[in-house]
Structure 1
């Protein structure tokens, strides 16, 4: 398919019965005002946004350059259900299998918890060949625990025999950018702490001169006794200062009343805002964070928790970041 700068792309494959249409003219949440007079660099389609409680709406985000239809999938807790909802809303015009096979070019899995990879595993029989990227700890668990013949067919090129080799497990080196085949994006990985001894990953996506930062589950440095978030903020701080970082996707799983010993490597609104203060320190001050899109992921349903999280975030937002609460199958332009 050829890349288009138009607001929509129409692709007809003569070898397929179905056409695929990704509608950038479909109503989207646009936050491109962060950098005045700039055009959107990325389009994000959330396939799932929650941190549990609904297997049809778990962490999974399709990312492509604006105007393109070659996506990477950042985490894959929910895949098919999100695609089906996007089809129902008119974002994709094709079958779910066609979108699965022809629109997702690679997976990036932050950590091997089921709410971040169940959709990938369960849909693997209908998927086609593509890479799964991640840090060593994540890919090892994928091969040893999930794509083993004890729990599921081994669709990867690692682990138990026979290896069906549909998926190539691509181990990433921390901080190095990897060019993603069939896309115009590059991605680098950075480690996160997710309740010792658990680990997680942040992915920094690059297209042209623009960047998007996606964090898997993470605890605050102060609680995790870690410097991993601080190290990440130091890396991306210059990109914030130069307005090249178009958005930060970061979790807030619990409201502020969650007990520290029951956070299990997650953030609250107060903890997030303290971390953003550290990001400001590496970016030149709060003035550089003003209007930076911060997309709140992985809220855990339960009672009125989501309402409380939203209210607490708005009250504590002294840096003036642009808080975004994503919805399943509602595209975001950044």
Structure 2
């Protein structure tokens, strides 16, 4: 009997030590999952229309924490489910809530807010559709963008008002926060800060410069090239980033290329082509003092327009055109729905 008790105690101690070691390893893994990296990006949606299950939406987190900020929300729950099926959250210490599905756990416990670049439906549809079953969190946007969201969607006609602004009754699920251009604020529930920059589009759009310690990531909403738009807004972003890169590391950017080079300038409607993107990046390259800092920066291409026409895939055409234009050695990657990217 005594032997059995001693043996049981030994087994219990081994199990306890194993569990303790496992927790320590998990904590260390969360603190520094991959050497020389800072961010995780999960692609919930990457197309610029018209495929309704795959519209602009990304999740970003610092690798030191389990909390994301959503970068636009054209596709939300469908994108989360696809990312789950692709094991994009495999390194995430998921909060266990047995009352929720895996997608519900991500939405409720790991997405701490939304950064909305502009009010076009392909950038907000997922947020609207998910809102009845979402939990309380902030929506961050420039003032004009928040106004469009209130006037056009959360107005009790297109959709109930789940926000704390606008037409009564206000359901107060989402706290609307106006971003002041080029003024950094902390993103609640995360270790990230954001500075918003106005962009030229058919309506006001936004670039979000997101920082964690000495690391930077930039998400560009829809935008046209400065030479076509005549407002110089992209130049302002490039100048800011070049200055920040003197002391910080720019890990990557997400930027749109909606059309191939055959699209006429007068039919861009506030979008980029490979030719115009390279024109913008060439200007940025000229500003950066230490050119080697460009080499490790990932340029993730989004918002490629889905086509119903037969023939070559627009993604293939744009990828080829980017490579032909890429004389400066930028590290291009076409975003793919459901993938996980480490930066």
Distance change >3 Å, CA 237–CA 230, structure 1 → 2:
same
Query: TM-score, normalization: structure 1?
Result: 0.87
Measured against aligned partners, the alpha-carbon deviations of 1:8-67 in whole angstroms (never above 9, x if no partner) come to 69xxxxxxxxxxxxxx98xxxxxx9xxxxx611000001001110211111101000114
Q: Secondary structure at the match of 1:278?
A: helix
Aligned counterpart, 1:290: 295
2:106 is aligned with 1:106: no
2:55 is aligned with 1:58: yes
Q: Secondary structure at the match of 2:162?
A: coil
Q: Which piece of structure 1 moves more, 249-258 or 90-99?
A: 90-99
Distance change >3 Å, CA 146–CA 72, structure 1 → 2:
same
| 1:285 CA drift (Å) | 7.0
Report if the CA contact (8 A) 2:274-2:318 is conserved.
yes
Aligned counterpart, 2:15: none
Aligned counterpart, 1:129: 136
Matches within 5 A, 1:73-152: 73-92=70-89, 94-152=101-159
| Residue 164 of structure 1, aligned match among 166, 171, 183 | 171
Q: Secondary structure at the match of 1:50?
A: strand
Measured against aligned partners, the alpha-carbon deviations of 1:268-298 in whole angstroms (never above 9, x if no partner) come to 0000000001111221375543342111011
Aligned CA RMSD, in angstroms, stands at 2.0
Report if the CA contact (8 A) 1:133-1:172 is conserved.
yes
| 1:261 CA drift (Å) | 1.3
| 1:262 CA drift (Å) | 1.1
Report if the CA contact (8 A) 1:290-1:319 is conserved.
no
Measured against aligned partners, the alpha-carbon deviations of 1:226-265 in whole angstroms (never above 9, x if no partner) come to 1100011010012345561110111000000011111110
Aligned counterpart, 2:21: none
Measured against aligned partners, the alpha-carbon deviations of 1:288-326 in whole angstroms (never above 9, x if no partner) come to 433421110111122432211000001101111100111
Select the structure of larger CA radius of gyration.
Answer: 2
Distance in 2 (CA, whole Å) between partners of 1:110 and 1:323 is 22
Matches within 5 A, 1:12-91: 39-91=36-88
Distance in 2 (CA, whole Å) between partners of 1:269 and 1:226 is 20
Q: Secondary structure at the match of 2:219?
A: strand
Q: Secondary structure at the match of 2:336?
A: coil
| 1:329 CA drift (Å) | 1.5
| 1:120 CA drift (Å) | 0.3
Report if the CA contact (8 A) 1:291-1:320 is conserved.
no
| Residue 258 of structure 1, aligned match among 256, 263, 277 | 263
Distance in 2 (CA, whole Å) between partners of 1:289 and 1:67 is 24
Aligned counterpart, 2:306: 301
Aligned counterpart, 2:17: none
| 1:95 CA drift (Å) | 2.4
Aligned counterpart, 1:21: none
Aligned counterpart, 2:235: 230
Aligned counterpart, 1:280: 285
Distance in 1 (CA, whole Å) between partners of 2:242 and 2:79 is 33
Aligned counterpart, 1:181: 188
Distance in 1 (CA, whole Å) between partners of 2:153 and 2:182 is 27
Q: Secondary structure at the match of 1:49?
A: strand
Report if the CA contact (8 A) 2:251-2:296 is conserved.
no
